[in-house]
Amino acid sequence: MTNAIGLDISTWQDSPAIPGHINFDKARLAGASFVFIKASQGVWSDPDFEMNWSAAKAAGLLRGAYHYMDWSKPPLQQAQYFAGLLALDPGELPPVCDYECRTGAPSSGAARLVLRAFLEETKRLTGKTPMIYTSPGYWCEYGSADGYWAQYPLWIAHYGVAVPLIPRPWTCCTFWQSTAKGNGYLYGVESRDVDLDEFSGDEAALRAFAGLSDQPDLPTTRWDVAITAWARQLGYAGPDPGDDNEGDG
Protein backbone atom coordinates (compact mmCIF):
# COMPACT_ATOMS: atom_id res chain seq x y z
CA MET A 1 0.00 0.00 0.00
CA THR A 2 1.30 3.41 -0.97
CA ASN A 3 0.33 6.23 1.34
CA ALA A 4 -1.43 9.20 -0.22
CA ILE A 5 0.72 12.30 -0.48
CA GLY A 6 -0.12 15.99 -0.54
CA LEU A 7 1.20 19.45 0.19
CA ASP A 8 0.37 22.44 2.34
CA ILE A 9 0.51 25.98 1.10
CA SER A 10 -0.16 29.62 1.90
CA THR A 11 0.32 32.93 0.14
CA TRP A 12 4.09 32.39 0.48
CA GLN A 13 3.91 29.82 -2.33
CA ASP A 14 2.51 32.45 -4.72
CA SER A 15 5.33 34.81 -5.68
CA PRO A 16 4.23 38.38 -6.54
CA ALA A 17 7.19 38.51 -8.93
CA ILE A 18 5.75 35.73 -11.11
CA PRO A 19 2.58 36.07 -13.22
CA GLY A 20 -0.12 33.55 -12.47
CA HIS A 21 -0.74 31.52 -9.34
CA ILE A 22 -0.32 28.01 -7.95
CA ASN A 23 -0.94 25.31 -10.55
CA PHE A 24 -2.93 22.69 -8.68
CA ASP A 25 -3.38 20.59 -11.82
CA LYS A 26 0.40 20.20 -11.84
CA ALA A 27 0.33 19.14 -8.18
CA ARG A 28 -2.25 16.51 -9.03
CA LEU A 29 -0.20 15.21 -11.95
CA ALA A 30 2.83 15.00 -9.61
CA GLY A 31 0.86 12.59 -7.44
CA ALA A 32 -0.72 14.83 -4.81
CA SER A 33 -4.13 13.71 -3.56
CA PHE A 34 -4.76 16.47 -1.05
CA VAL A 35 -3.72 19.95 -0.02
CA PHE A 36 -3.91 21.89 3.22
CA ILE A 37 -4.43 25.60 2.59
CA LYS A 38 -3.87 28.41 5.05
CA ALA A 39 -7.16 30.19 5.65
CA SER A 40 -6.44 32.54 8.51
CA GLN A 41 -4.27 33.74 11.37
CA GLY A 42 -5.56 35.68 14.35
CA VAL A 43 -8.55 37.43 12.77
CA TRP A 44 -7.24 38.04 9.26
CA SER A 45 -7.43 35.76 6.24
CA ASP A 46 -4.63 34.64 3.96
CA PRO A 47 -4.87 36.90 0.88
CA ASP A 48 -4.77 33.91 -1.48
CA PHE A 49 -7.16 31.67 0.45
CA GLU A 50 -10.32 32.04 -1.64
CA MET A 51 -8.41 31.70 -4.90
CA ASN A 52 -6.42 28.67 -3.70
CA TRP A 53 -9.51 27.06 -2.18
CA SER A 54 -11.51 27.14 -5.40
CA ALA A 55 -8.56 26.28 -7.68
CA ALA A 56 -7.61 23.22 -5.62
CA LYS A 57 -11.19 21.97 -5.77
CA ALA A 58 -11.26 22.41 -9.55
CA ALA A 59 -8.08 20.31 -9.80
CA GLY A 60 -9.67 17.43 -7.89
CA LEU A 61 -7.58 17.72 -4.73
CA LEU A 62 -9.12 17.01 -1.33
CA ARG A 63 -8.84 20.20 0.72
CA GLY A 64 -8.31 21.01 4.35
CA ALA A 65 -8.14 24.56 5.70
CA TYR A 66 -5.80 25.51 8.51
CA HIS A 67 -5.76 28.38 10.96
CA TYR A 68 -2.42 29.56 12.35
CA MET A 69 -3.32 30.29 15.95
CA ASP A 70 -1.34 33.17 17.38
CA TRP A 71 -1.68 34.92 20.70
CA SER A 72 -2.97 38.28 19.48
CA LYS A 73 -6.71 37.58 19.83
CA PRO A 74 -8.97 35.53 22.13
CA PRO A 75 -9.42 31.91 21.02
CA LEU A 76 -13.19 32.10 20.55
CA GLN A 77 -12.81 35.12 18.31
CA GLN A 78 -10.18 33.32 16.24
CA ALA A 79 -12.33 30.18 15.94
CA GLN A 80 -15.37 32.20 14.90
CA TYR A 81 -13.39 34.02 12.25
CA PHE A 82 -11.93 30.76 10.92
CA ALA A 83 -15.28 28.98 10.84
CA GLY A 84 -16.85 31.92 9.05
CA LEU A 85 -14.45 31.49 6.15
CA LEU A 86 -15.57 27.87 5.77
CA ALA A 87 -19.31 28.42 6.17
CA LEU A 88 -20.19 28.05 2.47
CA ASP A 89 -17.52 25.52 1.48
CA PRO A 90 -15.99 23.63 4.43
CA GLY A 91 -13.73 21.45 2.30
CA GLU A 92 -13.38 17.69 2.37
CA LEU A 93 -10.81 17.24 5.16
CA PRO A 94 -11.18 18.40 8.77
CA PRO A 95 -10.29 21.98 9.70
CA VAL A 96 -6.88 22.32 11.33
CA CYS A 97 -5.45 24.34 14.19
CA ASP A 98 -1.80 25.12 13.46
CA TYR A 99 -0.34 25.05 16.98
CA GLU A 100 3.27 26.18 16.70
CA CYS A 101 3.49 29.91 17.44
CA ARG A 102 6.21 30.88 19.94
CA THR A 103 6.04 34.66 19.52
CA GLY A 104 4.29 36.06 22.57
CA ALA A 105 3.32 32.58 23.80
CA PRO A 106 1.95 32.38 27.34
CA SER A 107 2.80 29.64 29.82
CA SER A 108 2.20 26.10 28.65
CA GLY A 109 -0.86 25.76 30.87
CA ALA A 110 -2.41 28.95 29.53
CA ALA A 111 -1.57 27.94 25.95
CA ARG A 112 -3.39 24.64 26.38
CA LEU A 113 -6.49 26.45 27.64
CA VAL A 114 -6.43 28.65 24.55
CA LEU A 115 -6.01 25.64 22.28
CA ARG A 116 -8.85 23.77 23.95
CA ALA A 117 -11.22 26.73 23.65
CA PHE A 118 -10.32 27.18 19.98
CA LEU A 119 -10.82 23.51 19.14
CA GLU A 120 -14.12 23.17 20.93
CA GLU A 121 -15.53 26.34 19.38
CA THR A 122 -14.36 25.29 15.91
CA LYS A 123 -16.02 21.90 16.37
CA ARG A 124 -19.25 23.53 17.56
CA LEU A 125 -19.40 25.93 14.63
CA THR A 126 -18.30 23.60 11.81
CA GLY A 127 -19.73 20.31 13.02
CA LYS A 128 -16.35 18.69 12.31
CA THR A 129 -13.73 17.48 14.77
CA PRO A 130 -10.66 19.60 13.97
CA MET A 131 -7.10 18.34 13.72
CA ILE A 132 -4.05 19.58 15.58
CA TYR A 133 -0.90 20.43 13.63
CA THR A 134 2.21 20.59 15.78
CA SER A 135 5.76 19.27 16.14
CA PRO A 136 7.07 16.85 18.77
CA GLY A 137 9.22 19.59 20.33
CA TYR A 138 6.45 22.16 20.49
CA TRP A 139 3.98 19.69 21.94
CA CYS A 140 6.51 18.64 24.55
CA GLU A 141 6.72 22.27 25.64
CA TYR A 142 3.15 23.51 25.15
CA GLY A 143 1.05 20.34 25.07
CA SER A 144 0.45 17.51 27.49
CA ALA A 145 -0.06 13.76 27.61
CA ASP A 146 -3.63 14.19 28.85
CA GLY A 147 -5.93 11.78 27.04
CA TYR A 148 -8.33 14.64 26.23
CA TRP A 149 -6.22 15.62 23.22
CA ALA A 150 -6.38 12.19 21.57
CA GLN A 151 -9.91 12.91 20.31
CA TYR A 152 -8.38 15.30 17.78
CA PRO A 153 -6.49 13.73 14.85
CA LEU A 154 -2.79 14.56 14.82
CA TRP A 155 -0.89 16.14 11.93
CA ILE A 156 2.74 15.99 13.00
CA ALA A 157 5.66 17.97 11.57
CA HIS A 158 8.91 16.03 11.88
CA TYR A 159 11.67 16.26 9.27
CA GLY A 160 14.72 14.18 8.46
CA VAL A 161 13.46 10.94 10.00
CA ALA A 162 12.20 7.66 8.58
CA VAL A 163 9.33 7.55 11.08
CA PRO A 164 7.96 10.60 12.92
CA LEU A 165 8.07 10.84 16.70
CA ILE A 166 4.51 10.71 18.02
CA PRO A 167 3.96 12.66 21.25
CA ARG A 168 1.61 11.34 23.90
CA PRO A 169 -1.32 10.95 24.20
CA TRP A 170 -1.43 9.94 20.53
CA THR A 171 -0.14 6.56 19.40
CA CYS A 172 -0.08 7.41 15.70
CA CYS A 173 -0.53 10.39 13.42
CA THR A 174 -3.12 10.89 10.70
CA PHE A 175 -0.90 13.14 8.59
CA TRP A 176 2.86 13.58 8.62
CA GLN A 177 4.59 16.69 7.31
CA SER A 178 7.84 15.01 6.39
CA THR A 179 9.75 17.84 4.73
CA ALA A 180 9.73 21.55 4.05
CA LYS A 181 12.03 21.06 1.06
CA GLY A 182 9.74 19.50 -1.51
CA ASN A 183 10.29 20.40 -5.16
CA GLY A 184 8.16 23.51 -5.62
CA TYR A 185 8.36 23.42 -9.42
CA LEU A 186 7.22 19.79 -9.56
CA TYR A 187 4.14 20.55 -7.45
CA GLY A 188 3.16 23.71 -9.30
CA VAL A 189 3.98 26.34 -6.66
CA GLU A 190 6.00 29.49 -7.30
CA SER A 191 8.37 29.06 -4.36
CA ARG A 192 11.48 26.90 -4.69
CA ASP A 193 10.41 24.66 -1.81
CA VAL A 194 7.07 23.38 -0.60
CA ASP A 195 5.95 21.41 2.45
CA LEU A 196 5.04 17.81 1.64
CA ASP A 197 2.74 15.59 3.66
CA GLU A 198 1.80 11.94 3.88
CA PHE A 199 -1.51 10.42 4.94
CA SER A 200 -1.47 7.25 7.03
CA GLY A 201 -3.13 5.21 4.28
CA ASP A 202 -3.70 5.07 0.55
CA GLU A 203 -5.98 7.33 -1.47
CA ALA A 204 -9.01 5.12 -0.90
CA ALA A 205 -8.41 5.30 2.86
CA LEU A 206 -7.99 9.06 2.59
CA ARG A 207 -11.35 9.38 0.86
CA ALA A 208 -12.93 7.16 3.50
CA PHE A 209 -11.41 9.38 6.21
CA ALA A 210 -13.00 12.35 4.46
CA GLY A 211 -16.36 10.56 4.30
CA LEU A 212 -16.30 10.31 0.51
CA SER A 213 -16.88 7.47 -1.93
CA ASP A 214 -13.99 5.27 -3.04
CA GLN A 215 -13.96 6.65 -6.57
CA PRO A 216 -12.57 10.18 -6.98
CA ASP A 217 -14.56 12.59 -9.11
CA LEU A 218 -11.67 14.01 -11.12
CA PRO A 219 -12.12 17.01 -13.39
CA THR A 220 -12.01 16.49 -17.14
CA THR A 221 -9.17 18.48 -18.64
CA ARG A 222 -8.29 19.21 -22.26
CA TRP A 223 -5.47 16.67 -21.86
CA ASP A 224 -7.97 13.99 -20.80
CA VAL A 225 -10.18 14.75 -23.77
CA ALA A 226 -7.28 14.55 -26.21
CA ILE A 227 -6.05 11.21 -24.86
CA THR A 228 -9.56 9.72 -24.91
CA ALA A 229 -10.06 10.80 -28.53
CA TRP A 230 -6.71 9.27 -29.47
CA ALA A 231 -7.60 6.01 -27.72
CA ARG A 232 -10.93 5.76 -29.54
CA GLN A 233 -9.26 6.39 -32.87
CA LEU A 234 -6.92 3.46 -32.31
CA GLY A 235 -9.68 1.23 -31.00
CA TYR A 236 -8.48 1.21 -27.38
CA ALA A 237 -11.63 2.79 -26.00
CA GLY A 238 -15.32 2.44 -26.66
CA PRO A 239 -17.50 5.04 -28.37
CA ASP A 240 -18.46 8.21 -26.62
CA PRO A 241 -21.89 7.56 -25.07
CA GLY A 242 -22.74 11.16 -25.82
CA ASP A 243 -22.12 10.79 -29.57
CA ASP A 244 -25.53 11.03 -31.22
CA ASN A 245 -24.15 9.65 -34.51
CA GLU A 246 -22.98 6.35 -33.06
CA GLY A 247 -24.72 3.44 -34.76
CA ASP A 248 -25.89 5.46 -37.78
CA GLY A 249 -25.44 4.24 -41.35
User: Residue 21: which CATH number?
Assistant: 3.20.20.80
The residues, ordered by sequence, that sit 6+ positions from 80 with a Cβ below 8 Å of its Cβ are 121, 125
Q: Are residues 123 and 233 in the same domain?
A: no
d(CA 59, CA 26) in angstroms, rounded, equals 9
Is 46 one of the annotated active-site residues of the chain? no
- For the chain, the domain total comes to 2
In a 13 Å sphere around the CA of 26, the CA atoms on its Cβ side amount to 11
Low-confidence ranges of the chain (pLDDT < 50): 218-233, 236-249
Contact 37, 66 (CB under 8 A): yes
Q: Are residues 35 and 141 in the same domain?
A: yes
Contact 58, 29 (CB under 8 A): no
Predicted local confidence at residue 14, as pLDDT? 85
Contact 208, 219 (CB under 8 A): no
Considering only CA atoms, give the Rg of the chain: 20
Q: Are residues 73 and 98 in the same domain?
A: yes
Predicted local confidence at residue 213, as pLDDT? 74
DSSP conformation class of 210: T
Contact 68, 41 (CB under 8 A): yes
d(CA 167, CA 52) in angstroms, rounded, equals 31
Q: Are residues 179 and 152 in the same domain?
A: yes
Q: Are residues 153 and 226 in the same domain?
A: no
Contact 32, 62 (CB under 8 A): no
* Catalytic entry in 14, 25, 46, 98: 98
Q: Are residues 157 and 49 in the same domain?
A: yes
d(CA 166, CA 153) in angstroms, rounded, equals 12
* Catalytic entry in 50, 70, 100, 202: 100
Predicted local confidence at residue 241, as pLDDT? 39
Predicted local confidence at residue 174, as pLDDT? 98
Is 146 one of the annotated active-site residues of the chain? no
Is 98 one of the annotated active-site residues of the chain? yes
